[in-house]
Structure 1
Amino acid sequence: MEKFTKLTSIVAPLDRANVDTDQIIPKQFLKRIERTGFGEFAFFDWRYLEDGVPNPDFILNEDRYAGANILVGGRNFGSGSSREHAPWALMEMGFKAIIATSFADIFRNNCMQNGLLPVILSESEVDTIMARALRGSGYKVTVDLESQTVTDDQGLSAKFDVDPFRKNSLLEGLDDVGITLTLGEAIDSFEEKRTARW
């Protein structure tokens, strides 16, 4: 998993509440067994017209948000099923952080397990970021995990909370398997003692 420390990026706005995981990655695209290949299908029903042509009315298709690594969304982002494919798809679209007022718990956990940082800010802070992203092209914020802040060059300075264990995992680039592997010597020692005892 890639380490997350500090990110400065254009912000892509998705001004919708209750964006669920079936909207993020529709069920018909869940047949793959790899973690890759989902990005092109993210937000499929909004992103494309029936003939597969990009929908010009879908905001994330606008050129001014090309290359954005930060997504700002509405409340209850990631609700619905527990599919881990949702963060995989968002990451393949290029997103490394999502800012919203709230996230579904399972989605939030899945994001952190895969190196995608979900940032919870107050409604007024999210509204400010959303408005600035919608208003101008090239609007950027900096998400700093070490200081747990979101800032911009227009005076925004917001603090966010993050579980210390998950924060350290993201800073070190460790998912649960990676954390377990760091305990290799302790596991080997336990197994040797267990084998000798039994």
Structure 2
Amino acid sequence: MSAGISEVVSRTVVLRERNIDTDQIIPARFLTTTQRQGLGKFAFNDWRYLADGAPNPEFELNKPANAGAAILVAGRNFGCGSSREHAPWALTDLGLRAVISSEIADIFRSNSLKNGLLPVVVEQELLDELLERPGIELRIDVRERRLHLPDGRSVQFPLDAFAQTCLIEGVDQLGYLLRQLDAIHVYEQRRAAAHNESQEQVHAR
């Protein structure tokens, strides 16, 4: 997993389309690898490139004004479709750190949290506003679970405590558990000792 995320501050890049599925995020023909690095060049491939392979100048992510943007604002029901982890891999390799929408598909959301991409779900009214204001700078505070707007408003977004910890520490679920091995070992020893003591008391009666 990438470096930890406690805060994302960036201009937004906007894709207004609804129901952007994982095959549009990264087409199935590019799923022959299990390597995360390098998938960014395939992200939104069929939208980013023309038939002759040249960059599509009309696609938002190709516009110079959006270069370096780390927050994607997308239409409702983002990430629907198959469960491929390649989708968040491609987006993070492209340089995105967060996706904002009013609805993010459950499996895509889960895969994103495991792979260092922050999914932020907001009310439709706020999403509509953000879709009409491309390029504004937002601040997403992972510790507070709050999205801060330029005019001083802020809204809370859902993020469970375990996913929040993994994002901040830059580890996936397995990595987090591996970090707890010493504590788990101590707990198991104490549990075994308590069990043995209990058994000895039973036999002594």
Query: Shared fold by TM > 0.5?
Result: yes
Alignment of 1:119 with 2:120, yes or no, is yes
Distance 1:5 1:49, change over 3 A: same
Residues 39-58 of structure 1: per-residue CA shift (max 9 Å, x gap): 00100000000111001121
In the alignment, what sits opposite 2:159? 162
Alignment of 1:176 with 2:168, yes or no, is no
1:106 and 1:83 map into 2 onto residues whose CA distance is: 9
Which one of 136, 142, 147 corresponds to residue 145 of structure 1? Answer: 142
1:151 and 1:180 map into 2 onto residues whose CA distance is: 32
Matched pairs, number: 189
Q: CA RMSD in A?
A: 1.7
Residues 142-178 of structure 1: per-residue CA shift (max 9 Å, x gap): 0111111111223432221211111121122221121
Q: How far off its partner does 1:127 sit?
A: 1.3
In the alignment, what sits opposite 2:64? 63
Alignment of 1:5-154 (within 5 A): 5-133=6-134, 138-154=135-151
1:124 and 1:39 map into 2 onto residues whose CA distance is: 30
1:188 and 1:56 map into 2 onto residues whose CA distance is: 56
The unaligned stretches of length 5 or more in structure 2 are: 193-205
Percent of pairs with identical residues: 46
- Report the AA paired with residue 179 of structure 2: T
The answer (yes or no) to whether the contact 2:136–2:150 under 8 Å persists in 1 is no
1:186 and 1:175 map into 2 onto residues whose CA distance is: 18
- Report the AA paired with residue 69 of structure 2: A
2:183 and 2:156 map into 1 onto residues whose CA distance is: 37
- Report the AA paired with residue 169 of structure 1: C
Q: Secondary structure at the match of 2:24?
A: helix
Higher gyration radius (CA): 2
Alignment of 1:4 with 2:5, yes or no, is yes
Q: How far off its partner does 1:187 sit?
A: 5.1
- Report the AA paired with residue 5 of structure 1: S
Bigger drift between 54-63 and 77-86 goes to 54-63
